[in-house]
Every structure is written in structure tokens, then in C-alpha cells.
Amino acid sequence: MSEFHRQIKDPEKEKQIFLFRARLLLFFVLLILAGLVSRMAYLQLWQYDVHASRSERNRISVEAIPPTRGLIYDREGRLLADNLPSYSLTLTRELADNVPLVIRRVCFFLDLDAACEEQLQERSRQRRRPFEPALLLDQLTEEQIAILSVNRHLLPGVEVAAQLLRDYPYGAALSHALGYVGRISEEDQARIDRRAYSGTHYIGKTGLERFYEERLLGEVGFRRVETNARGRVIRLLESEPPRPGEDLHLHLDAELQAFAYEALAGQRAALVAIEPATGGILALVSSPGYDPNVFIGSLDSTAFHELRRDPQQPLFDRAARGRYAPGSTIKPFIGLLGLQEDVIQMDTVIHDPGFYQLPNDDRRYRNWRRWGHGEVDLRRSIEVSNNTFFYHLAFLLGIDRIDLAMREFGFGQVMARDVQGARAGLMPNREWKRQVHRQPWFPGETLSTGIGQGYWLTTPLQLATATAVLANRGQWVRPHLLMNDDDLPDPDLPAPISVQHEAYWDYIIGSMEDVMHGREGTARFAGAGARYRIAGKTGTSQVFGLSQEETHDRDAIPEHLRDHALFMGFAPADRPQIALALIVENAEGGGSRIAAPLARQIFDAYLTPERLAQLEADHAP
């Protein structure tokens, strides 16, 4: 090879360059292989447990099994809240390729409008754990199930699942006492234990369902399953069944409740009946009510807003939350206090000219009978519901003693054990007025308090509670719905109300019997012909006030400004089995014309001939 060609191409040099490059490439290949081998060794040896666990979690999933909600029974074993089988539509987002598109197809197939589609989109996001189905629709019809089954290949992640839904056989009659269950909302999710509600789509919203939610819910179960890469179940590995919720047995008498609700139908009214011996609530009625079953399924928002806007306020629990001036129903309590404080005697008599005047005051506080009742003592004053005697008695007692004594009967306090949302009412006193109105207490306000008017407000539940304590002659019982817990001690139970002489109880209860059976009793027509003796007291609660000399035409007053009619009492008077309080809002007539006859119907419905015969047999010598 010539010198010229050797200068252009040197095979030896090229060979050396090639060998150098080959060795360098081999070095890098070996270096990479060493890195891969070391990484593999690290993952396989040192990180084995970690990745084995991750792989197991990808292959094995744990699914929640929701518990069966506890049932609710009345005192006779009648079913008040049941669980019925139903079919619902669920969506697992991880299994759906395009969630908005899938939901749009569901709405198209089921002929749902745009508002419903938006609602389903929102529900699809309300889930708590990965691969946990979100509830879209419930109570599917057979036609809807068929449509979804035919088009299932177009709806990935969508399943039709069987479940148990709450059912309330008595409907509106027990709506406020039991409450209802509804979908778990975002607000609910913020306060609940998500683990405890895994797989559960409903929660107690109001009433007993909410108060005893933890006991009714039960404990969630689980099943461990093997799944493929798409999350489909291949086989069941193990399972633990859920623990059903606790069944509740109540003091409520479903037949009495339904009868009372029907008796109050068409009126804004409330009734609470209590068994004096136990404090068990026999009936807790608020009229009008609503059908709680509509809250369980897919409640139309329009229907819900109509319920809220209804001027009759069917969603408002008048029995536990309605606050009303008690009117003359509190006169037996004030009379007992007067005897106990020794400011009057059982034979104290005053003259009633139709009004009462404070010393050095020209204002006249009028009796409901403008010409008065003449000579009256305490017993006749309760029988005829004389105001003048109680103006005089309230003046002698003073607001401080009235306040303290009435609180002993539970006024101004929530004494019920398990009535969800119960309000405290209002027992006015000097300190309250100073704080709220920034004014001193005036003597005239004491007189108004003495006849259950003015600032004094009570709920039907409170008034029934005080009536039960009176029927027990001062022995306290705490009102409650649940029968299961009757034997549990109650360390906060108020002490019994004691009096100087037992004859005081006989005197006051005898006066209340005169109201129902006496010659001048305000409720004598309601008590006529009863097979048992009733102790009761009627009352009228003013909605708006009049000046002392002003009179009014009842027919000219708008319906919503008319007086409320009240009644409280118990029966039989000598061996009380039922104590109740009843109010009818804006009634066409007072407590004697409206409330007392309704109460008599309730007494008769509960004190059947069979129950009275059994009572006589139990007390036979």
C-alpha cells in the first residue's frame, strides 16, 4: 500500500478505535446490567414484603356488607318501621370509562330530565372509599330494571343491586314521633364515622330514627374477594357477616296514635299522652303530619319545597317544639302552690266582681266572665276557671315562688329522655326579663303569669309531663319513648314534689274532677256519661292581646289570630292510667268546647272496657 493510501486509511488505527469503542460499550452494558440486577435483588430481597403486600392489595379487595337496620315496634308488638326489599341503581366510578357519558346514557334510557341528570352526576361523587358504589337511584320499577339489563353493555360500572329500604306502615300518623331516614348527604359525611357506614346509603334524619341511630344502624360486615385488573370479582376468599341493628320496642300505642291523629285531622293541633306509672309516651301526635316514606326514595325537590312552603307546616313538630301560652291549664299547679305556701287555705273565699285590681292601681284585670262568679274558693275557681281568684293568688305568691315551684314540675326545661328536638319552653322570671328585655319585673306581669298568659310558654310535651307528675301526686317520671331502657337508673331524675298535707293532692285532683263532672265544670259536657272519673282542666291561650275595656267579635278576627284551645288531664282520677295534654291552634271555641271533647275521645279509646275491667281486677281486695 502506498504512503498516500496509508495516510488516508490506517487499518491498525481503525481496529484500535473499534476495539476501544466496543470495550466502552461493553462496559456500559455490563454497568446497566449490574444496576438492573442489583435493583432486582433489592426489590426481590429487601423490598419483598412491601411489594408482595401491594400486589396482594391489587389482587384482593375488601367489600363492605351493610347491616340490616333495626326494626321498631310499639308496646303491643305492632311493626312501626319495617325494612322492605327494593332494587337500586349504583355506579362504581373506577369501572366506568366516562362517568358523565354513562350517566347521560342512564338518563336517556330511563327518560329522565336534565335536572335529574345533574342530580345523578352529583350523587356519583358522593362515595367514601375507592371502588365503593355510589347510589344513583332507588326503588327501581320492573320496567326500569329490564331497560337497564338490555343496555348493560353500554353502561360500564352500572349495577342493579338489591337492598332493604325503610318503610313506615302508619305513614303520617307517626311521622314526627319516629322521624325518617334519608340519603347520607355531604353534611352527614362530615360528621359520621365513614367506616361504620361503609356500604350504607341511608341515615336517620329526624325523630327516633336519628336519636337512636347508633343502636338501629348495626355493625358493618365485610367480604374479602379476589378481583382481576378491571376490579371484577373472581372468587370469594372469606367473609364476616354484619351485625343487624337493634330492634326497638316503644311505649307508643300505635292504635291510640292512629286514632288520635285521625281525631285531630284537618286541624293544626298536637297531643301528648303519657303512662304516669312509667313515664312511657303512649302517643306523640302533631297534626298535620307528612308521609315519611317519600323521604326514603328519590324525593322530587319540588315536592319537598311544597312541604316546606305549606302554610299548615306539616314538617313542624308541634307536640315537642310548638310553644304556647298554657292558659288556665296551669291553675291546678298554682293552686297547689298556694296551699303549700300557706298563702291561702282550702276554705279561703274571695268575692269576684268580674275583675281584680292591684293596690293603688286603677287598672282592672278582668275575669273571662265579665260580671264575675261572686263568692269563690280555690276549688270552685278551678271548676269554673275563675281568673280573679288566681290574679289574687299570684299576687300573694309573687313571681319568684311561682317560678321555682313550676320548674319543679318541669316547666321551662327539657325533661324528656329521647324525644329528638324537644324544646324547653319558657318559664319567665325577673332575671330572664332583665337579660332579654332589659326591664324590671312588674306586678301586673305576675298576675298574667298566674293565669298562664304573658311570657309563659310551654310545649304540649312539657304540659303532659307536668300533668303526669300531678297524677302521680308529686312522684317524678321522665317521659320517654323507648321501652328497652325502663330498668336503667336515672341519676338526674328530679326529687319527688312533697307537700305539707296529703289532703292537698286530694283537694286539687277533686277540683279537676269537678271541671269534668261538676255542675258548673267548664268541661262537664265532655265528661258526661264517662264510665270512669276524669281529672282535667281546660284552657285558652291568647294569640294577641286586647285592652282592658276592649271586646272583640270572634267571627271578625282572622283565623290565624284566634285563640288556641287547650286541655290537660288524666284518667281514671283515682288510679291514673293515662295523662295527656292537647292543644288545637286557632280553634273555633275554647278548651271546653274544642279540646276537652277531643281529649274525652282519646281517654275512651285507651280506657276500653277490657282495660277498665282488668284495672278493677288488679285492685280488687
- Active site residue ranges: 328
Q: At what angle do helices 596-606 and 254-263 cross, to 10 degrees?
A: 160
* 164 bridge partner residues: 85
Rounded CA-CA distance 510/451 in Å is 20
Whether residue 227 contacts residue 237, with contact meaning beta carbons closer than 8 Å, is answered with no
Strand, coil or helix: 450: helix
Name the nearest CA neighbour of 135 among 146, 144, 127. 127
Name the nearest CA neighbour of 601 among 556, 541, 521, 534. 534
Verify cis geometry, omega within 30 degrees of 0, for the bond prior to 130: no
Q: Identify residue 311 by its one-letter amino acid code.
A: P
Whether residue 372 contacts residue 353, with contact meaning beta carbons closer than 8 Å, is answered with yes
Q: How many residues does the chain have?
A: 621
Rounded CA-CA distance 339/393 in Å is 10
Those residues whose C-beta lies under 8 Å from the C-beta of residue 118, and which sit 6 or more positions away, are none
Rounded CA-CA distance 159/149 in Å is 9
The DSSP code sequence of 54-101 is HHHHHHEEEEEEPPPPPPEE-TTS-EEEEEEEEEEEEE-GGG-S-HHH
Whether residue 540 contacts residue 565, with contact meaning beta carbons closer than 8 Å, is answered with yes
